[in-house]
Amino acid sequence: MQTTLKVEGMTCGHCEKAVKGALQELEGVEEVNVHLESGDVEVSHNGVQEDKMKEAVEEQGYDVVS
């Protein structure tokens, strides 16, 4: 499955690593691609609930807007 999250507040490589790392820790997440310019975070996974992904990103200090 593929889910795209719209994340606000990411501005640099550190932001990208923080979001990517948090999502990759979730069981069932296979791949994470972060696009700083657009704020899109594409997550390939095996049925991970979107709420869990949002929570992992928000715990890093970023806002998930959709």
Question: How many residues are there in the chain?
Answer: 66
Q: How confident is the model at residue 66 (pLDDT cuts 50, 70, 90)?
A: confident
- Per DSSP, what are the bridge partners of residue 32? 43
pTM of the prediction?
0.94
What is the three-class DSSP state of 35? strand
Is residue 56 within 8 Å of residue 22, measured between CB atoms? yes
Rounded to 5°, angle at Cα 35 from 30 and 39: 110
Give me the pLDDT at residue 11, please: 95
Domains of the chain: 2-64 (3.30.70.100)
Is residue 32 within 8 Å of residue 56, measured between CB atoms? no
Is residue 3 within 8 Å of residue 53, measured between CB atoms? yes
Report pLDDT digits (tens) over 17-61.
999 999 999 999 999 999 999 999 999 999 999 999 999 999 999
